[in-house]
Structure formats: structure tokens, C-alpha cells
Structure 1
Amino acid sequence: MKSSKAAEDPSTRRTYQEEGWFKFSPILDQRIISYVCSSIQGWTSKPPLGAAFEADGAALRAVHGCHLYDDTYERLTRLPMLLDTAREILEDDVYVYQFKINIKQALEGREWPWHTDFSFWSNEDGMPSPRAVNIAVNVDDVREENGPILLLPGSHRADSIPQIVTPPSSSGSDWQANVSAELPYTVEESMVQKLLIHHPQTPLLGPAGSVFAFHPKIIHSSSRNRSRQRRSILIITYNAVSNVPKSVTRPEFLVGWDPTPLQPLDGTVL
């Protein structure tokens, strides 16, 4: 199996194990970025299944599962640069557990509170262990002022992370509560402040096409978009085929139901 340049670098794997994240050396082909931007423009006027909105019900916040009906996105999940890295990190074959594009509209995109992804996957879906990895692609230029993902490096190794569990509001569907600005599983502020002393927050900044990998147990958040520039990030979550949840009931566009191992594309053309 041919691995990506990021996966082949021992220092990269070590950084992921110790810090819980790393940045890829190459950036994604700008033709792919242009395709995603075009999709977002179309979704603004005609939201697809799996779309989530800000509290005002108008501003698009995220789109989930578009790889299920769009061949380009399906092929993107099998791009060797991304897929081989996930397989190397997890030391297993993988499948797409979640595919989403998080969108913060200019001046409207709200924050994501401090949380860990594994809290949702474990509590909502019964994922056995955090043997999954998030691959994030900046679709727009991501700067300090437009709401970058903020990580606490090394926090994925914390033995226990105190959580605040907030039952979802009676309004809206259950899955929408898991992608709103008022998340049902958040990390206690005291825990965040304690970790910040030795683990200063790190923003995932970079031009469109920048690619990052981060651990499902790393504590992260993002601030409100205070700029006049949209901030969009595409995130593919790969899960090890030996780590399939046993009780998935959430919609397929939100959580992958098919654990068939992915096979990499022959080449890089989508």
C-alpha cells in the first residue's frame, strides 16, 4: 500500500500521537477547492438533505453526507493523500464515519463550544474506542478573525475529561442538536482553563487547500466569525473497520452505516 508523504514521515506520526494533530505538507488541489466553493454557493439557495442552520434558521451552518449522492465527494474520500494517511494512523482499513462541511457565514457564523468529538460518537452511536481520525481541509482562507478551529494540543491524552451534558431542546430534530452552537456535550470550563496552562490553544490557520489531521479526543472549539469573509472547512472522519459502532441510529448522512473498507483511487484525479 503506497502511503501519503504525511503518513510516511515518522515525525508526523509521532506528532499526532503526542500532540493529537498535524498539518500535511502538501495542500489540496485548488480545482477541488473550487468545486466545494461552487457547491456551497448552490446550497445557500437550495439546501440539501443533511443541511444544518444557525439559530436564525437562515444562515447555513453545515452540510453532512454529500459524499452519499455526489460522486466527486465520494471519490475525494478515497484520495490517496487522505485515505492512506488515515489507514497509516489507525493501522487498519477504514470507512467514512462522517463527512461534513462546516460553514461560518461572514459576520453570522456562530462558535463551536469546547468539546471532543468522541463524546458524541461514544454516547450517541456506541463507538467502542477513539480509533478514528478527522481529516480537515480549509475550503476558504482561514484566519484568526473568521473563526478557525482551536485545538488544545495533547489534551487527547487526558485520563478523564469532565463533561457538561445538556439535554437538547424540544424544538428541532435530535441530530440537529448535535451540530448547533449549543452542543449537548461540552467540556467543563475548569478543565479547559487547567489544560491551557500547559497546552496553549493552537488555531488551524492556513490558505484554502490546507489539510490537517486531528484526534477524536482532542479538545477543540472555534469562535464566532467576526470578519466579512466566509470560513468553510471540509472534514472527513475515517473510522477503523474494527471499531464499528454497534448501535447507530442517527441518519446515514450524519453517521456512516456502511463499514466496507475504502479502496484508494488510482491516481489523484477526481
Structure 2
Amino acid sequence: MTATTETMTDLYPSRLTRPGEIIERQHPTVWGTDDDGPFDAAALEAHSERGFTILPDFITPGEVTQYSAELERLASDESLQGDPRVVREKVSGEVRSIFEVTRISEQIEALSRDPRLLDRARQLLGSDVYLHQTRVNYMPGYKGTGFYWHSDFETWHAEDGMPAPRAVSCSIALTPNYPYNGGLMVMPGSHRSYVPCVGETPENYHQDSLKEQKIGVPSEEAITELAWKYGVDQFTGPAGSALWFDCNIMHGSGNNITPFPRSNIFLVFNSVENTLAEPYAAPAPRPTRIADRDFTPLR
């Protein structure tokens, strides 16, 4: 395991009053080595180059059935009615996401500590890790709305106080990801480019941004530049597949206008050497249900 994160200066300014130049990433993508975990040297090099890794059959068909039933239970749990951890679709009112899910579901809490996940997260980040954010996502057929292009790290830096892009997300598909049912699109290699965004962060902005983000998203000019430079790929594959992706990769998803729903478990691992400080560009930190401040290493 390797070096600590530099936190003395803000290398990734955002929420500016005018458009800023795209900034070259100042930190590694892969912090560990092939001796630290299950990824071999070639897989680590590919992840460092592309910013993401797709692992088919990451969980078994039996586990897909088990966790799908758990997502159905959570979505219909009357005790969660009105709970701020539940985010609903802006128009249809259907459940869109449930945050802090490891505090609600024993099954998903146990999954977060599974060596299949934990060992890879530690290897990619080169240290012990904790869970920065956990949630389950639902994208129902016909009614599921997507997310505009964005970098997670821009938000986590500006609104949560995450110093450096030393976090990695794991999205585990519980339904098939087709090219046409609102699957996640990524720009391979774009994690090496940090895009400052324009606009002051309003107070309690998370109440709106989790349904539709309008501040903290790149300009069309920046997206066009990145798309021509890096291209666009998509996370497709059967239920049970997992996508590991760097916190700064540019990604987004379209609406699901098909009858085929899409759902996933989403776990964000952050290095214990990259813990949250005060927000870099927001009036106050977001609630801990969205950005946890318990930095106890996962075991």
C-alpha cells in the first residue's frame, strides 16, 4: 500500500463565477499494486488507462435473486415512507434511490464487507477504505429518468469536502443492462481531466440535485471537448455484472423509455487517507446519509 493524499491546497476548484479551463488530474487512479489484491497488473493498467473496469458474473444468479427481493422489500417498506433517505422520481413519484442503504439492509451491509468488493477497493485505493456513500437505484420501465453528464468527484469535492479523487464506485447490476434501457454511459479516459463547473451552490441543494442536477454539471462545450477526445462507452451486460469506476470519470445516463426496468446496488469506497473536510464550494456539508463522516475502516 502506498502514499498519502496531499490535502494542503485546492487543486480542483469548481462552482466558479465564469467557465474555467479543464484541469489535468494531479493524482493517480490506481494507488495499489498487483500484490495488494485480486486485480492483476494488466487489469490495473487497463483500469488506470480507461478509468473503469467491467466484471461480468461478479455475483451469482442466486445472489441476484436475493438482492432483487431485498430491493423490492425496501421500495415497499411503509416504515420508509417520508424518510429523507428515499428519493423519488420528480414526475412519477416512484422510488428513484434509497441512500444510506447499508444502515437499512443487513444483506447489503454484509455485501459491502465481502472480500470480492473490499479487497478490490483497497487495492485500487492503496489503503484501508470506508463507505463514503451507499444507495440502491431503481429505473422503472417507461418512467425512469436519467442523469446528465457529470463527475461524481466534482460534487463530492465541492459539496462534501473530499480532498482528492481517491475514491472508487462499484455498481452491481441486478437487472440486464441493455444499450437501450437507460444504461450508464462513460467517457473512457476522461477521469484524467477535471472539469470545473459554473454556478454557486445553493443552500440544501441536495434536495433538488438528487432528482435533477443543474449546478455542478459541465457546460456543453466541455462535454463536447471531452466526447471528441475520449469517446463514449456504455456499461452493458447481464444481471450480476459489476462496474468499478473512478470517481472523476465523466458519466451520465438517459431516460428509460423501454418496458425493461434497471436496478443496481451502488457502493462508494473512499480511502481513509482522503477523509472529508469542510466543503470546498458549498455553504455546509451535505447530510451524512449522502456523504458519511464515519471514517472507520471497513473490515
Matched, 1:115 2:115: no
Task: Calculate the TM-score normalised by the size of structure 2.
Answer: 0.80
Matched, 1:238 2:258: no
Matched, 1:216 2:247: yes
Conservation of the 8 A alpha-carbon contact between 1:97 and 1:256: yes
Partner of 1:255: 291
Conservation of the 8 A alpha-carbon contact between 1:5 and 1:25: no
1 or 2, which has the higher helix percentage?
A: 1
Partner of 1:266: none
Measured in 1, the distance between the counterparts of 2:220 and 2:277 equals: 31
Cα distance change, pair 212–6 in 1 and its aligned pair in 2 (3 A): farther
Partner of 2:199: 165
Larger mean Cα displacement after TM superposition, 70-79 or 50-59? 50-59
Alpha-carbon deviation of 1:7? 3.5
Conservation of the 8 A alpha-carbon contact between 1:162 and 1:187: yes
Q: How does 1:118-129 map to 2 (within 5 A)?
A: 118-129=153-164
Partner of 2:6: none
Matched, 1:8 2:39: yes
Alpha-carbon deviation of 1:257? 2.0
What is the aligned-residue identity percentage? Answer: 27
Cα distance change, pair 184–36 in 1 and its aligned pair in 2 (3 A): farther
- Identify the match of residue 225 of structure 2 among 187, 190, 194: 194
**RMSD between aligned alpha carbons?**
2.3
Measured in 1, the distance between the counterparts of 2:214 and 2:42 equals: 34
- 1:150 match: secondary structure: strand
Residues 32-83 of structure 1 show CA distances to partners (whole Å, capped at 9, x for unaligned) of 3223221332333336331101112611111111101322111111111111
Partner of 1:90: 125
Measured in 2, the distance between the counterparts of 1:140 and 1:194 equals: 32
Residues 137-190 of structure 1 show CA distances to partners (whole Å, capped at 9, x for unaligned) of 1111110111011000111111x414243756x9xx643323112342111111
Q: How does 1:134-213 map to 2 (within 5 A)?
A: 134-158=169-193, 160-165=194-199, 174-213=205-244
Alpha-carbon deviation of 1:218? 0.5
Conservation of the 8 A alpha-carbon contact between 2:154 and 2:196: no
Partner of 2:138: 103
Measured in 1, the distance between the counterparts of 2:65 and 2:289 equals: 23
- 1:146 match: secondary structure: coil
Matched, 1:23 2:59: no
Task: Calculate the TM-score normalised by the size of structure 1.
Answer: 0.88
Q: What residue ranges of structure 1 are gaps of 5+ in the alignment?
A: 264-270
| Alignment coverage as a number of residue pairs | 258
Amino acid of the structure 2 residue aligned with 1:262:
L
Q: What residue ranges of structure 2 are gaps of 5+ in the alignment?
A: 2-33, 280-284
Larger mean Cα displacement after TM superposition, 49-58 or 114-123? 49-58
Amino acid of the structure 1 residue aligned with 2:178:
R
- 1:239 match: secondary structure: strand
